[in-house]
Amino acid sequence: MRIERVSTAERIQLQVGNRKVQTGIFKRARNGAVPVNREGLEGDAICNRKHHGGPDQAVYLYASEDYEFWARQLNGDMTPGTFGENLTVSGIDLRAVCPGDRLRSESLTLEITAPRIPCRVLAARMDDRTFAKKFVQANRSGAYCRVIDEGKVSAGDEFAHLPFGGDRIPLARFFVDAQRGLSADTLRRYLAAPIDTRTRREFEKDLKKRISEGEE
C-alpha cells in the first residue's frame, strides 16, 4: 500500500439541513512528515467526538481506486480528501481488509477497526441530500484505523499489509452488517474480533436484547 496524500483539516462551519455544525471534513493536503499519535494526525480537527475520532477511529483511509469509481459514477474528477480521509492510499482493496489487519511502515503501524458509516455531514459536503444512500449502495466505505505504533506519515510512504490471524470479516461485509439486524451468533462473531469500541457497544447491547428475547 502506498500513501498518495496526507490530509488534515481545520474546524469550519457547514450548513447541514436547517442547522450549522462544526466539521473537519474539508481536508487539505499536508507536505512533509506529519506526526501521528493515538488520537490521530497532528493538526486534524475532530469536532463531534460522540460519533467521530478517538483511539479506534484515529485515522481514516480512502483508496484512489475508489475515487476512480466515484469519478465514473459522478461523471467528474474527484479530488483526494473529498470524503474527509486522512490518508488517500493506493494498491490495496479496502473492501477486502478486515478488523485486526495491520498496515506497517518504517515509522507507523495502523490496525483496521471499522468501515465508515455515512452521515448527513458527508451528504452536505457533497451538496447532495441523497449521497449517503449512494455511498451505502456503492459499498466503498474506506477504513478506520487505530494507531498501534505512533510515528509519522508522508505522501510516498509504503506500508506492508499484515493480515489478521483470527476470524476474518471483510469491511465490505462489516459495512452491510453494521446497518441491519444481526443474529446472536453473528454478533458474537463480531465481538470476538478487534472492532471499534462504538460498534462494540452497539453490538453488545443488541446481543443482550437477543438473549433476553430467548435467542441463544
How many angstroms separate the CA atoms of 58 and 67, rounded? 21
Q: What's the pLDDT at 30? A: 97
Is the model more confident about 50 or about 177? 177
The CATH class for the domain spanning 2-167 reads mainly beta
Show the CA angle centred on residue 55, arms to residues 135 and 81, nearest 5°.
40
Of the spans 5-9, 75-79, 117-121, which averages the highest pLDDT? 5-9
Q: Which three three-digit cell numbers place residue 168?
A: 476474518
Domain boundaries, the chain: 2-167
| pLDDT band at residue 213 under the 50/70/90 scheme | confident
How many angstroms separate the CA atoms of 146 and 132, rounded? 24
Q: What is the DSSP letter of 43?
A: T
pLDDT score of 48 more than 90: no
